Amino acid sequence: MYREYTMKKAIIKLTTVFGLSCLLIACGGGGGGGGSGNGGNNAPPPVQPIQPAPPAPQQPDAAPNIPAPPKDQALDTGAEGGSNPQKSPENDEMKNSSPSAQEKWEGACVAKSFCTAQNKNNVTVYNLKYVENADRLSGTPDKYTKQEEHITLKLGDNAKEEYKFTLLGTEGNEVGYYGYRHNVDDNRAHKNVELLYAINADFKHETQPSQLRAYYRKEKGFIYAPISNNQLSNNSLVNYGDVDLIYDEGKVSGSIYRSNNGDPSQLNKEKIFSIETKNSDKPSIEPIVNDLLGVIKQGDKAVLNYILADSEKGKDDHKYLFGSAKAETWIGVLAAEKSNEKPAEKQTNK
């Protein structure tokens, strides 16, 4: 009996100790929350694993110098169909140039030195400025400065101080032009003249018709000038004459008259040049008045080189006659149009 009592007392004591221990453990676990007693019932946050820092990206070596593709060439993306084909430079040039810029023009330029005639869309002219007391040692051109320019001709007269060109034809059928421009000699001390004409080759009549008989006339259709100028003044560098010609079965003859500048009161104009064709030779032209423009000598004969041109491509009407001449003391260019009016027969030669 006593033993049973003793065992129960021991069990109660152990149970008490065990309960106190559990209570202490529970209190100790909740005390770290620093908050209310309910903090002990919250589960601790799960530990997040520390991910290792990714390695720093390696800096590449200097990029190779890869040339960029041409402007007109697309990059090859590797997709089906490939890249766009590269454009041909010739195709671009043809696309960007107008049909008139591609036309072939031909003609003649006569002057003291070499010169050329050009397409009506790119005629060379010179801006000349007189420099008084120029210093050669400083590099300033002596007497004249010279700046090259390019102009496009319109139908009719195209004129400024240093040039004048007349373009013949109609809108869309610009056949040819004739005229003059001032230039300077090698040391730029004197002005000289370059006379020129040019026609669109599509309008040129390739053969000289042997059965054709026609009259060709034009007021101020002939321009003449001394082949060189030793004076600084350019007041008498060029002059105009009126053209009166007959084309008769391949032979050209006629006259150049001193221009009356449109004055109808001057019925009897002075004949200053004569044109004739002997046998099968080319036509010749010569001044029949002495000292024209002060230096052109009477009888200084030259060959008149000429061509015929149609008013429209393939029309075969021989509407225009263009020509040029170069003698010892003078130069000249000529343009005339077919006329129903016969050449004047009563002209004076003063």
Selection from 69-73, 145-149, 287-291, 323-327 with the highest mean pLDDT: 323-327
Mean pLDDT (whole number) for 225-252: 83
pLDDT of residue 236: 64
How sure is the predictor about 189, in pLDDT bands with cuts at 50, 70 and 90? confident
Going by C-alpha positions, the residue among 143, 136, 252 that lies closest to residue 191 is: 143
- Residue 30's alpha-carbon distances to 37, 174, 219, in angstroms, are 7, 109, 125
Question: 3-state DSSP call for residue 193?
Answer: strand
Domain range summary for the chain, segments of one domain joined by +: 95-339
pLDDT category of residue 65 using cuts at 50, 70 and 90: very low
Whole-number pLDDT of residue 105: 96
Query: Does residue 100 register a pLDDT over 80?
Result: no
User: pTM of the predicted model, to two decimals?
Assistant: 0.68
185 band by pLDDT with thresholds 50, 70 and 90: confident
Structure confidence at residue 13 (pLDDT) = 59
pLDDT at residue 312 tops 80: yes
Cβ-contact 158, 172 below 8 angstroms: no
**Strand positions, DSSP E, the chain:** 105-110, 123-131, 143-151, 156-160, 163-170, 173-184, 191-200, 213-226, 239-248, 251-258, 271-276, 284-287, 302-303, 305-309, 320-326, 330-339
- Two tokens at 27? 């209190």
Q: What is the mean pLDDT of residues 140-161?
A: 89
